[in-house]
Amino acid sequence: MKRLLFVAILLGLLAGPVLADDAAPAPRIGVVLGGGGARGFAHLGVLQELDRLGIPISCIAGTSAGALIGGIYASGQPLDKLEATFAHTDWDQLTSGKPRREDVPFSRKREDVRNYLDLSVGIEDGKLKLPRGALNSQAVDLYIRYLTQGIPAGDFDRLPIPFRAVATDLANGDAVVFDKGDLATALRASMAVPGVFDAVEVDGRLLVDGLLARNLPVSDIKGRCADVVIAVDVGEPLKKTEDIRSWLDVLTQSLNFGVSRNVAEQKKLLGPDDILITPALGDTPVTAFADSPRIVAAGRAAARAQAAQLARYAADPAVYQLWKASLSQATPGRIESVKVDAPAGRSRRLLEDKLAVPAAGQTQSAFLANLQDVFAEGDYDRLAYRVEGENGERAVVTPQPRATGPDLLRFGVSMEGASNGDATFAVLASHRRTWVNEAGATWFNEARIGESLYFGSELYQPLDPTSPFFFAGGFRVSKDAFSLYTPEHDRRADLSLRDSRVSLSSGVALGRYGEWRLGLFRGQVDTGLRVGDPGEFPSASYRLGGVETRLTIDQVDNPRWPRNGYAVRVEAQRALPDWSSKDYEQLVSYDTGFDYVHTTGADLTWRLTGKARGSTQEGANIASLGGFLNLSGYQNDELLGQRVALARLMGYWRVASLPFALGTGVYVGASAELGRVWNGLWDGKDSEWLPAASAFVGADTLFGPLFLGVGNGRGGRWTAYFYLGADY
Q: Annotated active-site positions, please?
A: 64, 209
Q: Where are the beta strands (DSSP E) in 237-300?
A: 275-277
Q: Whose CA is closest to 506, among 468, 555, 477?
A: 468
| Cα 449-432-465 angle, rounded to 5 deg | 150
111 burial (CB, 10 Å; 0-12 / 13-18 / 19+) is middle
Q: Could you tell me the sign of the dihedral formed by the alpha carbons of 692, 696, 700, 701, in that order? A: negative
**Through-space distance between the first and last CA atoms of the chain, rounded to whole angstroms:** 63
Q: Could you tell me the sign of the dihedral formed by the alpha carbons of 171, 177, 181, 184, in that order? A: positive
Q: Which H/E stretch holds residue 412?
A: strand 407-418
Contact 568, 553 (CB under 8 A): yes
3-class SS string, 247-260: HHHHHHHHHHHHHH
470 burial (CB, 10 Å; 0-12 / 13-18 / 19+) is buried
Q: Which H/E stretch holds residue 650?
A: strand 639-657
Q: Whose CA is closest to 75, among 198, 162, 170, 141?
A: 162
Q: Which H/E stretch holds residue 613?
A: strand 604-615
**476/28 Cα distance (integer angstroms):** 72
Residue type, 522: R
Residue type, 421: G
Q: Whose CA is closest to 430, among 106, 97, 102, 118?
A: 118
DSSP-derived letter for residue 684 is S
**96/74 Cα distance (integer angstroms):** 28
Q: Where are the beta strands (DSSP E) in 451-539?
A: 453-462, 469-485, 491-509, 514-531
